[in-house]
Amino acid sequence: MTPLRQRYLQDLQLRNYSPKTQEVYVECVSLFARHFGKSPEALGPDHIRIYQLFLAHEKKASWSRFNQTVCALRFLYRHTLHRDWVIQHIPFPRKESRLPQVLSLEEVSRFLQAIPPLKYRVLLTTLYATGLRASEALHLQVGDIDSRRKTIRVRQGKGHKDRYIMLSPKLLVLLRRYWKAFHPATWLFFGASLDRPLSIECLQKAVQRARQASGLTKRITAHTLRHSFATHLLESGTNIRIIQVLLGHNSLRTTARYTHVTTAALASTLSPLDSLPPARPD
């Protein structure tokens, strides 16, 4: 490991960035340096601009990847290399506005019923019943389930914040059945051994097997269940501020995007055409 990479990692750790973010940032900086065959210390604003154009036009990088690269380089030049030109010369791209994919209630039911193994059925049902991120669900511990208070504790979710969410009575019944069958020790959804949580790869494979078995043609990921959870709550009349807290969003603007995908309000809204007086007979 080069001294610069070691110092960069230390700076990320000092600011309490998650291990996953550290890994992504280091990879982005490494690819940037490799593109020019030089250390980032020898590169400047013009190189960053050229690399951004390369990502956008040749690599066709997604907005997410482009944004990660910008964040990684901003951190490197601002905090590790202390270059005072960084703020002016690393612009953020405009994010594409796309509505999240959402399943209907009937589609969620078909999807969950198509999962034969109890372990994965309980895991995916938990994702929909709670709106948890995949990483949050996989890191649930047995002690986080409070059946008396009907709550679930989410430890160190995004932004390193704890929060509590509701525990559905139906989910509690399913969790009790799961516990009797598997007797998890620490991690609620353990992997190959009891002392390690299930991997994200195993979860993703389970989602795709369930999608194929259900016959649904929509693109479905674990996050689709989170989107569906939020949208269905909004359609049932739940206050958007409560949904924000349940999802662990810092900004209400992030939660508000679900108002664009609710169909209940759209279906009950009359078009101006329906208010026109009857047409005269020909």
Are residues 81 and 123 both part of a single domain? no
For position 237, what pLDDT does the model report? 85
Are residues 60 and 114 both part of a single domain? no
Are residues 251 and 118 both part of a single domain? yes
Are residues 8 and 126 both part of a single domain? no
Model's pTM, two decimal places?
0.69
Higher pLDDT, 247 or 273: 247
Active site residue 258: yes
- Domain range for residue 84? 3-89
Contacts of 154 (CB under 8 A, 6+ apart): 132, 136, 140, 144, 162, 163, 164, 165, 248
Select which of 59, 83, 119, 223 is catalytic.
223
Rg from Cα positions in the chain: 23
The predicted-structure confidence for 116-141, as pLDDT tens digits, reads as follows 899 999 999 999 999 999 999 999 99
Q: Is residue 97 part of a domain?
A: no
Are residues 131 and 203 both part of a single domain? yes
Across 225-240, average pLDDT: 89
Confidence of residue 16 (pLDDT cuts 50, 70, 90): confident
Q: Is residue 98 part of a domain?
A: no
Are residues 61 and 110 both part of a single domain? no
The whole-angstrom separation of Cα 24 and Cα 13 is 13
Active site residue 249: yes
Q: Is residue 171 part of a domain?
A: yes
CB 122 within 8 A of CB 175: yes
Select which of 139, 226, 227, 232 is catalytic.
226
The predicted-structure confidence for 43-78, as pLDDT tens digits, reads as follows 998 999 999 999 988 888 888 888 899 999 999 999
Active site residue 7: no
Q: Is residue 244 part of a domain?
A: yes
Are residues 226 and 126 both part of a single domain? yes
The number of angstroms, rounded, from the C-alpha of 103 to the middle of its chain's C-alpha atoms is: 16
Q: How many domains does the chain contain in total? A: 2
Are residues 118 and 252 both part of a single domain? yes
CATH number at residue 146: 1.10.443.10
pLDDT at 263 over 90: no
For position 261, what pLDDT does the model report? 59
Across 251-279, average pLDDT: 65
Select which of 158, 163, 209, 257 is catalytic.
158
Select which of 83, 89, 249, 257 is catalytic.
249
Select which of 8, 128, 133, 139 is catalytic.
133
The whole-angstrom separation of Cα 225 and Cα 247 is 12
**208 φ/ψ angles, rounded to the nearest 5 degrees:** -70, -35
Residue at token pair 């704890």 = 162
Q: Is residue 243 part of a domain?
A: yes
Select which of 77, 120, 178, 258 is catalytic.
258
CATH number at residue 25: 1.10.150.130
Are residues 28 and 131 both part of a single domain? no
Are residues 241 and 133 both part of a single domain? yes
Active site residue 226: yes
**63 token code pair:** 């907005």
pLDDT at 87 over 60: no
For position 248, what pLDDT does the model report? 87
Q: 25-29, 112-116, 176-180, 247-251: which has the minimum mean pLDDT?
A: 247-251
